[in-house]
């Protein structure tokens, strides 16, 4: 993560000067918060994925190494960007880092939940897997969107990660509805079966 050093306050500083010092650290605080949030999302996803894992393969370990490499790189990319928030290259570098994290996480999830690989003995529901994958894809797409709109508006590009919250909420509502529909269909099938087996 980014190291945010406390500013030195001299005795001669006025209240406004002290506040100005904190204001100048705003990009670093934003970078710290954003990086922490992205790492937390990936840690949660990684933790839930490996909660299903029963067997390991060399390929699974290799994919996990690639995923961890992108996370280890994030302190540098986030510091590079937060120190130079007005320049395109640091912003692109940081976003590409997060995109690679999302892509490697997606590859990891697809490999783990592929029944042909024999990694998981008890597969989650199809809807759960679809929601899981949709969330994993959403984050790199949002950061790719930020790269694409940077030439048009630096401000909107830098604020684009805020889209993660509404997108996750919409995905959750969408797949929750699909899940409830599937439950209703199963209940109807059971009821029809019972009626066929117990004619009045």
Alpha carbon 25 to its chain's center: 25
The torsion angles phi and psi of 120, rounded to 5 degrees, stand at -115, 130
| Alpha carbon distance 197, 200 (integer Å) | 10
| Nearest partner of 35 among 77, 88, 89, judged by Cα | 77
Taking alpha carbons only, the member of 126, 116, 104 closest to residue 178 is: 126
Give how far Cα 39 sits from Cα of 1, 143, 193, Å.
Answer: 9, 14, 48
User: pTM of the prediction?
Assistant: 0.80
Give the pLDDT confidence score for residue 188 in this predicted structure. Answer: 57
Higher pLDDT, 151 or 3: 151
Return the ∠ at Cα 154 (arms to 149 and 159), rounded to 5°.
85
DSSP three-state, residue 120: strand
pLDDT at 112 (0 to 100): 93
The fraction of the chain above a pLDDT of 70, given in percent, is 90
Q: How confident is the model at residue 85 (pLDDT cuts 50, 70, 90)?
A: confident
């Amino acid at each position: 993560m980014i190291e945010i050093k406390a500013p030195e306050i001299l005795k001669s500083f006025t209240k406004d000067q002290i506040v100005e010092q904190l204001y100048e650290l705003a990009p670093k605080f934003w970078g710290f918060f954003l990086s922490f949030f992205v790492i937390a999302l990936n840690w949660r996803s990684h933790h839930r994925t490996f909660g299903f894992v029963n067997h390991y393969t060399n390929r699974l370990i290799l994919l996990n190494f690639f995923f961890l490499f992108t996370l280890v790189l994030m302190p540098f990319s986030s510091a590079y960007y937060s120190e130079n928030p007005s320049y395109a290259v640091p912003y692109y570098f940081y976003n590409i880092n997060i995109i690679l994290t999302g892509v490697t996480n997606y590859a990891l999830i697809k490999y783990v939940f592929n029944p042909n690989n024999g990694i998981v003995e008890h597969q989650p529901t199809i809807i759960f897997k679809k929601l899981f994958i949709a969330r994993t894809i959403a984050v790199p797409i949002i950061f790719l969107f930020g790269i694409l709109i940077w030439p048009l508006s630096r401000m909107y590009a830098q604020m684009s990660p805020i889209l993660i919250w509404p997108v996750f909420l919409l995905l959750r509502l969408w797949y929750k509805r699909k899940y409830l529909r599937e439950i209703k269909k199963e209940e109807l099938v059971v009821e029809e079966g019972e009626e066929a087996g117990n004619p009045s």
